[in-house]
Copies of this chain bind each other. A is one copy, B any other.
Amino acid sequence: MQTIDEQIEVYTKFFHGLSNPTRYRIILSLLDGPKNVGELTEDIGCSQSLISMQLQCLRWCNYVKALRDGKNVYYSISDERVIALVQLGQSIADGNTDKICTCEILKNEKYIENKEG
């Protein structure tokens, strides 16, 4: 048994899983089939540590599953319904691209520059 607060927490966290560019790219990339951490890192173009951390999150929450093969660990989509969810979301968002991008509250863009400079 869960309180309504607990339910809301679960659902918002679940959707939060899809609200980060790195995690989202990982999922999109895995739609083509299983990939290991190195392949994903190259594909997405960020630090290996970030890919690895976000994979742990996606794995923990059952978006993806992991399979070790020697030195490599291959990740793949674990729940097919996630694919449907992503596609449905994209189809809704596609009709409203400009507005979504300029929403003053939803501004979780990929950070452009972290370094001093």
Q: A residues touching B (Cβ–Cβ < 8 Å)?
A: 2, 5-6, 8-21, 24-25, 28, 53-54, 56-57, 60-62, 79, 81-82, 84-86, 88-97, 99-110
A61: B residues at CB distance < 8 A = 96, 99-100, 103, 106
Which B residues touch A96, using CB under 8 A? 61-62
Kindly report how many copies of this chain are found in the complex they form together.
2
The reply to whether B25 and A105 contact each other, CB–CB distance below 8 Å, is no
Cβ-defined contact, A16 with B106, below 8 A:
yes
The dominant DSSP class at the A interface is helix
Contacts of A95 in B (CB 8 A): 62
Known A10-B97, A92-B81, A108-B16; judge A103-B57 contact (CB<8 A): yes
Q: Contact at B8–A24, with CB atoms within 8 Å?
A: yes
Is there contact, CB below 8 Å, between A100 and B10?
yes
- A56 CA to B102 CA, complexed, in Å: 12
Contact B81 A91 (CB under 8 A): yes
